[in-house]
C-alpha cells in the first residue's frame, strides 16, 4: 500500500481526497489543515500541524493542496522529513526563481516532485492528442480555445467558491490560462514566443479577467481567447470551461462544452464523433484521479512522469512572457524570460 497524506482542505481539495479514497493500493493516512475541522471533514486521520502529520502518519507521498505562498515552505518541510514523492498544486511557487530553487532542492534530496496540473489529463485532451499523433487532420496550422466559464460577473464573482480570486493581482493567466499554457505544450510542443492583450472587466477584482494570447508553436499558432464574463453551450460550464478548434490541412477537431470531441474531414460537411459526451459528475472528466493514478503508476511500475516540477519551469517561463508581452505591447520570445 502506498501511504498518502494531504495538506490543505479548501474547496478544491475535495477532488483530491475523493480520488485518493477510491484508489486501489493507496491508504489515505493523513489530512492536515490549520482549520482542524476542515481536516476532520475529509474523513482521513486529521492533523493541524504538518510536522506532526509527517512524523506520525509516515506517508510515502505528500499531496500539497495549498496556494502558492505556502508551497516552498511545505515542500522543504517534506524534504526535511525524508519524503521522496511530492505532488504540489499549481500555480507552482511564487515566481520562477523560487520554483527553480525548490526544484534544485528536491532533486538534490532525491525526491520526485510533480506539479498538479491536471487539465492535460482531461479525457478530451487525451483523445485530441491521440488524433494528432495519428495524423488524422494532417498538418496542424491553427488552434483556438475560447474560455467561457461565465462566473466573473458582478460584485459576488468567485466568492461562493474561491474568494481569494478577487484579490489576486494576476488572475486570468496566473490562475486559469496557465492550464492551457501546459495543455498547448502537451498537444503542440513547447511555445517559442507569445503575444498577449490582457484586460480587467470586473472592477471588484484586482487582476485581469479577460484577454487574448497568441502562442507560436513552430509553424502553427494557438490562440487562448479568455473571458470569464461570458458563457458557452454546456450543462456544466466548468466541465471544459469553453470550446476548442484544432485545424489542420486535412480536417478539424472540435471540443464541445459537453466534453465530446468531433472530427470533420477537409472539404466535407459530415462530422464524426471521436469521444462522446462526458458523464462524470465531478471536476473535469475525473482528471484529478487520472493525474494521481499516473503518479501512483510511476511509483509502483516506474512509468515515465508527466508534469515534473523541472518540466513545469517552462510553463512558468511562458506565463512570465505573457505578462511581459501584455505590459510591453509586443511579441516576447521565451529566450528573453528564461
Pair 172, 211 in one domain: yes
Q: How confident is the model at residue 4 (pLDDT cuts 50, 70, 90)?
A: very high
Q: Which of the listed residues 92, 116, 140 is the one where a domain comes to its end? A: 116
Task: Decide if 222 contacts 183 (C-beta within 8 A).
Answer: no
303 found inside a domain: no
- pLDDT tens readout for residues 58-105: 999 999 999 999 999 999 999 999 999 999 999 899 999 999 999 999
pTM, entire model? 0.95
Q: Annotate the chain with three-state secondary structure.
A: CEEEEEECCCCCHHHHHHHHHCCCCEEEEEEECCCHHHHHHCCCCEECCHHHHHHHHCCCEEEECCCHHHHHHHHHHHHHCCCCEEEEECCCCCCHHHHHHHHHHHHHCCCEEEEECCHHHCHHHHHHHHHHHHCCCCCEEEEEEEECCCCCCCCCCCCCCCHHHHHCCCCHHHHHHHHHHHHHHHHHCCCCEEEEEEECCCCCCCCCCEEEEEEEECCEEEEEEEECCCCCCCCCCCCCCEEEEEEECCEEEEECCCCCEEEEECCCCCEEEEECCCCCCCCHHHHHHHHHHHHHHHHHHCCCCCCEHHHHHHHHHHHHHHHHHHHHCCCEEHHHCC
Q: Angle at CA 309, nearest 5°, toward 23 and 223?
A: 95
Between β-strands 242-248 and 220-227, what pairing exists: parallel, antiparallel or unpaired?
unpaired
- Name, in order, each residue with C-beta under 8 angstroms of 297's C-beta and a sequence gap of 6 or more: 303
Task: Decide if 304 contacts 298 (C-beta within 8 A).
Answer: yes
Pair 126, 258 in one domain: yes
Mean pLDDT of the region 250-254: 98
Instruction: Give the three cell numbers for residue 240.
Output: 471544459
Identify the CA nearest to 331 among candidates 314, 316, 315, 318: 318
Between β-strands 251-255 and 242-248, what pairing exists: parallel, antiparallel or unpaired?
antiparallel
Q: What is the rounded CA–CA span in Å between residue 255 and residue 263? A: 9
Pair 13, 96 in one domain: yes
Q: What is the rounded CA–CA span in Å between residue 322 and residue 177? A: 10
Q: How confident is the model at residue 22 (pLDDT cuts 50, 70, 90)?
A: very high
Task: Give the model's pLDDT for residue 34.
Answer: 96
Pair 146, 216 in one domain: yes
Task: Give the model's pLDDT for residue 177.
Answer: 97
Identify the CA nearest to 132 among candidates 224, 243, 250: 250
Q: Is the pLDDT confidence value at 29 over 90?
A: yes
Pair 102, 137 in one domain: no
CATH code for the domain in which residue 45 is found: 3.40.50.720
Number of domains in the chain: 2
> What percent of the chain shows pLDDT beyond 70?
100
Q: Phi and psi dihedrals of 310, rounded to 5?
A: -60, -45
Pair 126, 208 in one domain: yes
Instruction: Give the three cell numbers for residue 11.
Output: 474547496
291 found inside a domain: no
Pair 183, 257 in one domain: yes
Pair 131, 35 in one domain: no
292 found inside a domain: no
Q: What is the rounded CA–CA span in Å between residue 256 and residue 184? A: 17
Q: Mean pLDDT for the chain?
A: 97
Q: What is the rounded CA–CA span in Å between residue 85 and residue 325? A: 36
Mean pLDDT of the region 221-248: 97
Mean pLDDT of the region 223-252: 97
- pLDDT tens readout for residues 171-181: 999 999 999 99
Task: Give the model's pLDDT for residue 161.
Answer: 87
Q: Is the pLDDT confidence value at 337 over 90?
A: no
77 found inside a domain: yes
Pair 36, 90 in one domain: yes
Q: How confident is the model at residue 338 (pLDDT cuts 50, 70, 90)?
A: confident
Q: Which one is predicted more confidently, 162 or 290?
A: 290
323 found inside a domain: yes
Q: What is the rounded CA–CA span in Å between residue 70 and residue 139? A: 43
Distance from first CA to last CA of the chain, Å, rounded? 40
Q: Angle at CA 286, nearest 5°, toward 180 and 217?
A: 20
Q: Which of the listed residues 94, 116, 138 is the one where a domain comes to its end? A: 116
CATH code for the domain in which residue 239 is found: 3.30.360.10
302 found inside a domain: no
Task: Give the model's pLDDT for residue 247.
Answer: 98
Q: What is the rounded CA–CA span in Å between residue 86 and residue 291? A: 13
- pLDDT tens readout for residues 287-326: 999 999 999 999 999 999 999 999 999 999 999 999 999 9
Residue numbers of the domain that contains 187? 120-283+314-333
Q: At what angle do helices 178-188 and 309-328 cross, to 10 degrees?
A: 110
Instruction: Give the three cell numbers for residue 261.
Output: 470531441
Instruction: Give the three cell numbers for residue 124.
Output: 478530451
250 found inside a domain: yes
176 found inside a domain: yes
Mean pLDDT of the region 6-21: 97
Q: Which of the listed residues 88, 116, 144 is the one where a domain comes to its end? A: 116
Pair 80, 136 in one domain: no
Pair 221, 320 in one domain: yes
Pair 318, 191 in one domain: yes
Task: Give the model's pLDDT for residue 144.
Answer: 98
Amino acid at each position: 500500500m502506498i501511504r498518502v497524506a494531504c495538506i490543505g482542505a479548501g474547496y478544491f481539495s475535495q477532488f483530491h481526497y475523493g480520488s485518493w479514497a477510491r484508489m486501489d493500493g493507496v491508504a489515505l493516512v493523513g489530512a492536515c489543515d490549520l482549520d482542524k475541522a476542515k481536516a476532520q471533514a475529509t474523513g482521513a486521520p486529521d492533523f493541524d500541524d504538518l510536522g506532526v502529520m509527517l512524523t506520525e502518519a509516515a506517508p510515502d507521498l505528500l499531496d500539497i493542496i495549498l496556494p502558492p505562498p505556502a508551497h516552498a515552505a511545505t515542500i522543504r518541510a517534506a524534504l526535511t522529513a525524508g519524503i521522496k514523492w511530492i505532488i504540489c498544486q499549481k500555480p507552482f511557487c511564487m515566481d520562477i526563481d523560487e520554483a527553480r530553487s525548490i526544484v534544485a532542492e528536491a532533486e538534490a534530496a532525491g525526491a520526485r516532485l510533480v506539479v498538479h496540473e491536471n487539465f492535460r489529463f482531461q479525457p478530451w485532451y487525451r483523445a485530441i492528442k491521440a488524433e494528432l499523433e495519428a495524423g488524422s487532420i494532417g498538418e496542424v496550422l491553427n488552434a483556438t480555445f475560447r474560455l467561457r466559464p461565465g462566473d466573473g460577473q458582478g460584485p459576488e464573482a468567485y466568492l461562493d467558491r474561491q474568494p481569494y480570486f478577487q484579490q489576486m493581482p494576476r488572475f486570468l493567466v496566473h490562475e486559469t490560462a496557465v492550464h492551457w499554457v501546459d495543455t498547448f505544450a502537451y498537444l503542440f510542443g513547447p511555445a517559442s514566443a507569445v503575444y498577449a492583450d490582457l484586460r480587467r472587466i470586473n472592477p471588484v477584482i484586482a487582476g485581469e479577467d479577460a484577454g487574448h494570447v497568441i502562442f507560436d508553436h513552430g509553424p502553427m499558432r494557438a490562440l487562448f481567447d479568455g473571458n470569464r464574463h461570458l458563457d458557452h453551450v454546456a450543462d456544466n460550464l466548468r466541465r471544459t470551461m469553453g470550446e476548442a478548434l484544432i485545424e489542420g490541412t486535412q480536417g478539424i477537431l472540435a471540443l464541445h462544452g459537453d466534453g465530446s470531441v468531433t472530427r470533420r474531414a477537409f472539404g466535407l460537411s459530415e462530422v464524426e464523433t471521436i469521444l462522446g459526451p462526458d458523464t462524470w459528475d465531478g471536476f473535469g472528466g475525473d482528471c484529478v484521479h487520472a493525474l494521481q493514478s499516473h503518479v501512483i503508476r510511476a511509483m509502483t511500475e516506474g512509468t515515465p512522469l508527466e508534469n515534473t516540477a523541472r518540466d513545469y519551469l517552462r510553463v512558468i517561463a511562458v506565463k512570465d512572457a505573457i505578462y511581459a508581452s501584455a505590459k510591453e505591447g509586443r511579441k516576447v520570445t521565451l529566450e528573453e524570460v528564461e
